[in-house]
Amino acid sequence: MNLRAKDRRKGGEHGMTSMTDIIFILLMFFMMTSTLTAPSALNLELPGKSTNNAEKVKDRLSDIGIEADGSFLFNRRASSYLLIQDQLKAMRNGTLETVYVTVSPSPDAPVESVVKIMDLTYQLGINAILNTAE
């Protein structure tokens, strides 16, 4: 007769199959959801040395200036955001040709004002050229 107590302890090994399945599913989930987000960016055209149609564009080119305090200038005259918006809409509706504007912020201009104007030109389908030479 065996009077010793049976050793009922189980081994310390655990199956890792279920853990790898969970990690694989999480990996698939994050890969699929990360591809659904598309970055939104503004179409910036920096001035270059291209000479095609440069004279035609120069005649139709308007300038939007942004001062250090966040105020706006339209063709070197003080203006507000709403007036610039109305003028750009009128320019866009009044011609079948491509409309160009230069955005000339001062070095101390707030970034929010520059982005606001660039976003407005993007929404209206106007080509904005960022003039950072000043």
Each residue of 75-99: pLDDT tens digit? 888 999 999 899 888 888 876 677 7
- Give the pLDDT confidence score for residue 96 in this predicted structure: 60
State the chain's mean pLDDT as an integer: 78
Contacts of 103 (CB under 8 A, 6+ apart): 64, 66, 114, 117, 118, 121, 128, 129, 130, 131
Domain ranges in the chain are: 54-130
> What is the rounded CA–CA span in Å between residue 114 and residue 70?
9
User: What pLDDT digit, counting tens, does each position of 93-131 carry?
Assistant: 876 677 788 888 988 988 898 889 989 988 888 888 888
54-130, CATH topology level: Nucleotidyltransferase; domain 5 (3.30.420)
pLDDT at 26: 93
Report the range out of 9-18, 54-63, 101-110 with the highest average pLDDT.
Answer: 101-110
Report d(CA 71, CA 86) in Å as an integer: 16
Phi, psi (rounded to 5 degrees) for 118:
-65, -35
User: Three-state DSSP class for 100?
Assistant: strand
Distance of CA 126 to the CA centre of its chain: 16
Local structure of 85: helix, strand or coil: helix
Residue 24 has what pLDDT? 92
**Structure pTM?**
0.56
